[in-house]
Amino acid sequence: MSFCYLIHFDSPPRVNQQHCIGYTSDLPQCKADHLAGRGSELTKAAVKQGISMTFAKFWTEGSRELEIILRQRGNYKRLCPICRNNGKSKENIL
């Protein structure tokens, strides 16, 4: 099974970048890599700066095509349940 996911950062590791969207077919390994700073450049920066991150949303049946569509749409706050709940996560997945 493949997933697309949205990561929410407690504070932006880079200016105006509080979210990261990605795709994986190995979700446990993907989570471990991002949390250890071995994921995207944005998660590496977050780990280096000590910024907490949460895997806030998942799309099952994810694909590289869906990842591209989500990235092109932008406005990740609209997709993020933490941001839509005024910064309060009902369920901290990590």
Asked if residue 19 belongs to a domain, the reply is yes
Per-10-residue mean pLDDT, the chain, length 94 = 94 89 95 92 94 94 94 92 74 44
Q: Please tell me the predicted confidence (pLDDT) of residue 89.
A: 55
d(CA 2, CA 26): 7
Total domain count, the chain: 1
Nearest to 40 by CA among 9, 61, 63, 77: 9
With respect to residue 45, please indicate whether it lies within any of the assigned structural domains.
yes
Domain that holds residue 37: 3-84
Instruction: Look at residue 93 and tell me if it is in a domain.
Output: no
The predicted structure's pLDDT at residue 14: 86
3-state secondary structure of 57: strand
For 45, other C-beta atoms within 10 Å of its C-beta total 16
Confidence at residue 32, expressed as pLDDT on a 0 to 100 scale? 95
Question: What is the distance between the alpha carbons of residues 3 and 68, in angstroms, rounded to a whole number?
Answer: 13
Q: Does residue 14 sit within a domain?
A: yes
Asked, for residue 91, whether it belongs to a domain, the answer is no
